[in-house]
A = this chain, B = another copy of it.
Amino acid sequence: MASIKYTYLFNQGNRSMVNLLGGKGANLAYMANKGLPVPEGFTITTQACNEYYENDCKISEELQRQIDESLETIEELTQKTFGGLENPLLVSVRSGAPVSMPGMMDTVLNLGLNDETVKVLAQKTNNERFALDSYRRFIQIFSDVVLEIPRDIFEDKLDEIKANYGFVQDNELNVESLKEIIAGYKEIVKDVIHEDFYQDVRVQLKMAIEAVFKSWQNKRAIIYRDLHNISHSIGTAVNIQSMVFGNFSDTSGTGVLFTRNPVTGDNELFGEYLINAQGEDVVAGIRTPMPLNKLSEEMPEVYQELFEIVKKMEISYKDVQDVEFTIENGKLYFLQTRSAKRTAMAALKIAIDMFNEGTIDKITALTRVQPEQVEQLLHPSFDNNVIKDLQPISKGLPASPGAANGRIYLDAQTVAEKAGEGEETILVRHETTPEDIEGMIHCKAVLTSTGGMTSHAAVVARGMGRICIVGCQNIELDYKKRQVKIGDRIYNEGDWISVDGSTGNVYDGKIETETNVVPDQFKTLMTWADEYALMEVRANVDNAVDAQKALDFGAMGIGLCRTEHMFFGEERIYDMQRMILADDEATRIKALDKLYPYQKEDFKAIYHVMKELPVTIRLLDPPLHEFLPHTPEDVKKLAAKLNISEQTIIERSKSLEEVNPMLGHRGCRLAITYPEIYEMQARAIVSAAIEVNNELGINIVPQIKIPLVVTGSELERLRKMIVIEVDKEIESLNAKLDYNIGIMVETPRACLVADELAEHSDFFSFGTNDLTQMTYGFSRDDFSKFSNEYLSKKILPCDPFAQLDDQGVGKLIKMAVDQGRAVKPNLKIGICGEHGGETNSVLLCYKYGLDYVSCSPYRISLAKLVIAQATAFKLLSVNNY
């Protein structure tokens, strides 16, 4: 009876045998079959692992026989002997499951060393120190991963002996001290296992193989599989590979290389190497490696071989490779190859180049730029070499990316003034409110001591592409003294700081920034992305300037145009305040009549930019008290301006005050109480559209969006009210106009009764910021006070305001989509919350079947790329690797 095959020499397997040989084994087989010089070795199958468990965790005789047989073949191929004293074969032992998985056993290198073979190695390499160091590392790692002796016992011993010799760095260890360490290590092992460290190399190997098998069932691995729904019965393979040595001779060496430049993306070999050295030497930093092109002079044939092979590997793997190689006595070996990490710029260039070279198709090229890297391309940054050694003076949440330096100022007005004088400014506040808009427009960056990823500062800054860091907890502001205390240091207004909105780091002083120029390749990539986009990307913008920016970035419409910021201009804020302070409807309507032309002009300007693309305008949303002054000085000023008593303003403010404004009198609740506000806005939207239609001879269809709806009857009433007002306006202008009225779906209840709401809605637009707040009961303004606890303790996998919560909020969204479409199969559904510009959230929206995402202009490219990649991965899912 033919026995089952449990071991495969590398050249016996192939790339498709992932289930049997694991990912690493299949990959090694692939390289071996391609004729690449991979050190000899073999893989023990996952089936062997599974049978090991069935066999009460014993290695069967048949498996042992096949291991011995394979090892013998390796000995023959390498002309070395395992445990032999002539030319000892050393091996590495690694796990390799079909699915990459943390928690599995680490690599054991140099297995086969013992008190005897170490001497031979010293002699062969002519480097006793290297041999001894390899041996002490082997004992340490074997004890850790196979014998499970706590790592720190060895670390303590090492530190102790280093201290005795007065050494600080590991590379100072000499032969004498290494011998002492090895002796010490062996003692530790003996204390634990009550026998000497294993000198029988076959015992070493057997134990290492069993340790790999066992690590399949260790707790971390089990939890990981549970979490990711990976079957526990897959098992892991074990890879046993002969070691090669770059320090055998002067015709030996070791190095790493990239098949293209990972910083610029240029098509040139890029790397470094050391003659007569092992990988460890490079890491230890004892000697300075040489640039790779030097190798073409020192060992031209080897270089040529290397060059030809790695270029073939690149084509074969269809991606830039990061390769580790070793030369042993003039013979080249490849120890590892993997896709190379690269900068945003390089990723972009390589993707386009490889498409142009015919190596990859367009879809694959699209997947080769990480969406998050897009931000690097669009925003200025600090030189990494400059900041890598700097200690940040504060760290907050990276609310809006990019790097900037500037002088600190504590209020919007001063920022606007100083910026007018040509200064670079950074606006520092506890938090921002709509009153700070002017300052946010003129500063280079915004820094707040409180607030989370969806606080006012974060949302608005992101919208205008302004750099922003929020929730810097170690910053204390003293508005009176005009000072900021960051950590222990006092900064006065006018002092310089530098901020990195991509990391949340704040630095002392002025650090220069580098501005990246958006390359043409980026535009090419975006064009490709559009070809594969199955979901629209719109923009969240409030004015014509940003609308133009959004168009430039390829927005297909405006998903959210907030109207509240429009009320904060110099004169109009007074009319707004007059409206709020009105005692009766007549006065209120008079004030609204004054606001009407402002609104109309704002809308007209936006329509002029967007033309016939959809512009979704959200009617007034924030509670009215946000528009009233908050300081005694401002109250005084307003009282004088409006010619009313300060007391009136204070009393009205007080009567509008709320315990929980987020859950208060805002959104469409305002229009239930004061219908005239929405009526004015509806008229302005419609007449603006009609005028622009007439001016440009186009056909704008306004999209009117009602916020914070909770019941069908509320919506029915408001829709009726708006329809009456709008139709009256259209008639009075003797015009024709189609328009849509839809809703923000942003309360849990709106999701729960979405069928009822769909009856009266032309579209749904998820406001996931508010929806997240209410679903969790997390106030976005207060969450930063305890979010650290939740994130650092992994109670939350991520900030739900930054990344959409699939399990909770997502369930509500899905429910609303299903119910809404059940009533209106073609209901247009999108998302306009901050999540619309975050990779994972965009993917979730795609999964939920939304028609579009809407995000701030600077995130449009990212969103487009995410969507295109989602489509691409779907198309590539039956891949040909």
Contacts and interface: CB of A to CB of B under 8 A. Distances in A.
B659 A659 contact: no
A662 B665 contact: no
Contacts of A710: 776-778, 808
Interface residues of A, number: 49
A779 B672 contact: no
Contact of A779 (B659, B713, B746, B790): B659
B748 A775 contact: yes
Nearest to A778: B663
B673 A786 contact: yes
A758 B878 CA distance: 38
B665 A808 contact: no
A814 to B, nearest CB: 10
A753 B713 contact: no
B795 A711 contact: yes
Given A660-B781, A661-B660, A776 B749 contact: yes
Contacts of A841: none
Interface string A729-758: 000000000000000001111001100100
A658 B794 contact: no
A708 to B, nearest CB: 6
B752 A782 contact: no
Nearest to A669: B786
Query: Which interface residue of A662, A773, A781, A808 has the most chain B CB atoms within 10 A?
Result: A808
A196 interface: no
B753 A808 contact: yes
A774 interface: yes
B665 A777 contact: no
B749 A808 contact: yes
A812 interface: yes
B777 A663 contact: yes
Contact of A793 (B672, B779, B805): B672
A749 to B, nearest CB: 4
Nearest to A747: B777
Contacts of A778: 663, 710
Nearest to A805: B749
A631 interface: no
Query: Which interface residue of A713, A793, A795, A796 has the most chain B CB atoms within 10 A?
Result: A795
A601 interface: no
A782 B708 contact: no
A190 interface: no
Contacts of A776: 663, 710, 747, 749
A807 interface: yes
Contacts of A300: none
A417 interface: no
Contacts of A658: 779, 781-782, 785
A57 to B, nearest CB: 30
A714 interface: yes
Interface in A675-729: 708, 710-711, 713-714, 717
Contacts of A747: 775-777
B663 A748 contact: no
A281 B664 CA distance: 53
A220 B275 CA distance: 95
Interface string A793-831: 111100000000101110110000000000000000000
A795 B660 contact: no
Nearest to A662: B660
Given A663-B776, A667-B777, A708-B777, 19 more contacts: A658-B781, A659-B781, A660-B661, A661-B782, A663-B663, A663-B773, A663-B778, A669-B790, A672-B795, A710-B776, A710-B778, A711-B795, A713-B795, A713-B796, A748-B748, A749-B805, A752-B808, A752-B811, A756-B807
Interface of A: 658-665, 667, 669, 672-673, 708, 710-711, 713-714, 717, 746-749, 752-753, 756, 770, 773-779, 781-782, 785-786, 789-790, 793-796, 805, 807-809, 811-812
Of all A-B residue pairs in the complex, the 8 with the closest CB atoms, nearest first, are A663-B779, A660-B779, A659-B781, A749-B808, A748-B748, A664-B782, A747-B777, A660-B660
